[in-house]
């Protein structure tokens, strides 16, 4: 990127600077637990994208399998995102009566129920 | 079809043989007008009796024996040799004036004749140039009678007979003996309506026409008529002389344009070229068809089963391989029995649910007489289906059968649950679960570490 820098692309360079700053800030200021959650979210997102692309480009047959696989990604994403919101120390004021342990227990129970339905619907 | 000749031969061989009888019964009621002499038709009636029919004669005004009693036809076949008989319209007036006109009793009406047909009785009806209830009845069977008083006229070929006595060549037809010589005809022609159940048997020659004047003085009228469009001129081979009609119940009715063609006079009369006429043979073939001796078919039974199984299942699964079999018999008048018949080559089987989902040829099986079989795959569609055979050809009995079977989708264990095409979805679901477990493990491990760190910090 360095040789491409020129006066023609001030906006691009500004954007990349902003992104770099944001990334550094994220690395520095985010706790390890939230990073773990974020990594999991990214994995689920890519899994969902791959399945949707396969459905659109190759086949949606059997459709119930697609629904189960895709719904497991979406549902897991939602549950994990909820967990992230509840355990984030910055949101402490909003989830005052929900301890992180309680949030994780909710997340686990929700995920187990979700996977129970997914595997029933998969075959 | 070959029956009359062979029947004749067997008659010569075995005088006391059992002869042709109808497939529906042997009792015949002959309603004969008082103006006609039974003896003039001795060859026709004798031929019928020789073939095993029991003839009962009565006049149109007689009340006994009744045509129908308590809704049950009294006879298997009815011959109406009453070409000029009218109904009693103003009987009191006529009685007062003591006028004697030919008339029917109450039990012979167009309605009762149609009722007889729907009960399976066969009819042979003779028409004449006069306007009678029977010519009105013929209009109900899609025959179009010409104006009253217009017989068939032809000046060809040159002959000594009057122009209204016409020799008609016999066409090729499945119900007529091939090679029948021309027949003498005298009577009224008719045009055809568009009913598909009409079976034209004898048509007028192309030089003949219907006219009310037979001498040359009326020629100008004819020329005028021919220049008009539409019904101006009744002429040509489009006119029918003897026409059959088969009802949906397979009963048959034949309308003949004149009664004279059944008589001894025309049977004995030689053709203009000196050869004997074909009247006797022709009327025998016509009555054989009308009384359901010839071209009488029936479906004996139908079966259906899966390939490799015996017996009909209660229901089929979509995409099953199905074998459908029909056994068809034709009536053999020589032995008065039904014999397996494999002569149908254009029959079709339909597998229908509202629409025919499958329409497939149902061919005869070689080597097994009377058996027709086809194998096909049930459609990939579940519902209540019907095997339908509906075969209708001119002159032949209509063959109709319908069997209802349900076709169901496969049961839960009759198709594969996990398909290779869906592996990305399975992998996605499984990887999510594994990810969840890993995440939970890491989270709990991190929790312990965090507590340790916290503890260290606080200490």
B418 inside 8 A of chain A by CB: yes
Q: Do A111 and B436 touch (CB under 8 A)?
A: yes
Residue B188, CA distances (Å) to A63, B223, B257, B312, B459 in order: 73, 20, 5, 55, 129
Partner residue facing A62 (CB), from B419, B439, B446: B419
ipTM score here? 0.88
Q: Do A50 and B426 touch (CB under 8 A)?
A: no
Taking the C-alpha atoms of residue B323 and residue B365, their distance in angstroms, rounded to an integer, is 13
CA B243 to chain centre: 13
Which residue on chain A is closest to B415 by alpha carbon? A123
Residue A107 CB neighbours (<10 A): 23
B415 inside 8 A of chain A by CB: no
| Model pLDDT for residues A11-37, shown as the tens digit of each residue | 778 899 999 999 999 999 888 889 999
Least Cα separation, residue B414 to chain A (angstroms): 14
Cβ contacts (< 8 Å) between B428 and chain A: which residues? 47-48, 50-51, 69-70, 72-73
Cβ contacts (< 8 Å) between A50 and chain B: which residues? 424, 428
Q: Where are the domains of chain A?
A: 32-122
Which residue on chain A is closest to B424 by alpha carbon? A51
Tokens representing B370 are: 């009377």
Least Cα separation, residue B431 to chain A (angstroms): 8
B448 inside 8 A of chain A by CB: no
Q: Do A66 and B443 touch (CB under 8 A)?
A: no
Per-residue pLDDT of chain B (459 residues; tens, 9 = 90+): 444 444 444 444 343 334 557 888 899 999 998 888 889 999 999 999 998 899 999 988 888 888 888 888 989 999 999 888 876 554 455 455 555 556 777 778 888 899 999 999 999 999 988 888 888 899 999 999 988 888 998 888 888 888 889 999 999 999 999 999 999 999 999 999 999 999 999 999 988 888 876 666 666 766 776 676 555 678 888 899 999 999 999 999 999 999 999 999 999 999 988 889 999 999 999 999 999 999 999 999 999 999 999 999 999 999 999 999 999 999 998 888 999 999 999 999 999 999 999 999 999 999 999 999 999 999 999 999 999 999 999 999 999 999 999 999 999 888 888 888 899 999 999 999 999 999 999 999 876 665 555 444 443
pTM: 0.73
Partner residue facing B426 (CB), from A40, A65, A108: A65
Q: Do B425 and A76 touch (CB under 8 A)?
A: no
B431 inside 8 A of chain A by CB: yes
């Amino acid at each position: 990127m360095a040789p491409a820098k020129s006066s023609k692309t001030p906006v691009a360079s500004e954007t990349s600077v902003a992104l770099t700053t944001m990334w550094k800030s994220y690395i520095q200021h985010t706790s390890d637990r939230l990073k773990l959650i974020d990594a999991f979210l990214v994995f689920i997102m890519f899994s969902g994208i791959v399945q949707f692309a396969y459905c659109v480009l190759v086949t949606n047959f059997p459709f119930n399998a697609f629904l189960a696989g895709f719904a497991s990604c979406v549902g897991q994403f939602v549950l994990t995102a909820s967990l992230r919101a509840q355990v984030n120390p910055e949101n402490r004021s909003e989830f005052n009566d929900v301890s992180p342990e309680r949030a994780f227990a909710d997340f686990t129970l929700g995920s187990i129920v979700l996977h129970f339905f997914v595997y029933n619907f998969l075959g | 079809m070959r029956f009359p000749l062979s029947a004749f031969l067997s008659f010569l061989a075995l005088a006391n043989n059992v002869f042709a009888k109808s497939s529906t019964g042997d009792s015949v009621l002959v309603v004969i007008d008082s103006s006609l002499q039974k003896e003039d038709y001795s060859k026709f009636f004798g031929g019928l009796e020789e073939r095993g029919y029991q003839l009962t004669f009565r006049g149109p005004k007689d009340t006994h024996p009744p045509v129908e009693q308590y809704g049950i036809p009294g006879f298997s076949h009815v011959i109406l040799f009453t070409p000029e008989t009218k109904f009693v319209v103003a009987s009191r007036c006529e009685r007062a004036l003591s006028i004697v006109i030919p008339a029917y009793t109450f039990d012979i009406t167009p309605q009762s004749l149609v009722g007889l047909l729907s009960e399976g009785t066969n009819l042979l009806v003779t028409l004449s140039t006069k306007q009678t209830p029977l010519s009105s009845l013929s209009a109900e069977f899609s025959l179009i009678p010409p104006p009253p008083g217009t017989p068939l006229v032809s000046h060809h070929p040159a002959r000594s007979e009057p122009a209204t006595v016409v020799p008609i060549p016999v066409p090729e037809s499945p119900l007529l003996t091939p090679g029948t010589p021309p027949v003498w005809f005298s009577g009224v022609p008719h045009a055809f309506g568009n009913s598909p159940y009409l079976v034209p048997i004898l048509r007028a020659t192309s030089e003949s026409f219907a006219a009310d004047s037979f001498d040359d003085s009326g020629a100008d009228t004819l020329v005028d008529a021919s220049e008009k469009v539409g019904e101006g001129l009744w002429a040509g081979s489009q006119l029918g002389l003897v026409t059959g009609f088969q009802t949906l119940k397979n009963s048959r009715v034949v309308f003949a344009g004149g009664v004279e063609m059944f008589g001894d006079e025309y049977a004995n009369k030689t053709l203009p070229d000196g050869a004997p006429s074909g009247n006797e043979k022709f009327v025998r073939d016509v009555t054989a068809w009308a009384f359901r001796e010839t071209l009488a078919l029936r479906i004996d039974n139908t079966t259906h089963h899966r390939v490799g199984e015996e017996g009909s299942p209660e229901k089929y699964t979509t995409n099953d391989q199905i074998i459908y079999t029909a056994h068809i018999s034709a009536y053999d008048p020589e032995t008065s029995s039904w014999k397996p018949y494999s002569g149908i080559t254009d029959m079709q089987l339909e597998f229908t649910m509202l629409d025919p989902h499958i329409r497939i040829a149902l061919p005869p099986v070689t080597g097994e007489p009377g058996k027709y079989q086809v194998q096909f795959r049930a459609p990939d569609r579940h519902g209540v289906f019907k095997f339908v055979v509906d075969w209708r050809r001119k002159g032949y009995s209509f063959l109709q059968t319908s069997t209802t079977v349900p076709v169901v989708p496969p049961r839960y264990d009759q198709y594969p649950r996990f398909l290779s095409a869906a592996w990305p979805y399975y992998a996605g679901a499984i990887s999510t679960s594994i990810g969840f477990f890993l995440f939970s493990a890491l989270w709990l491990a991190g929790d312990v570490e965090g507590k340790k760190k916290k503890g260290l910090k606080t200490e």
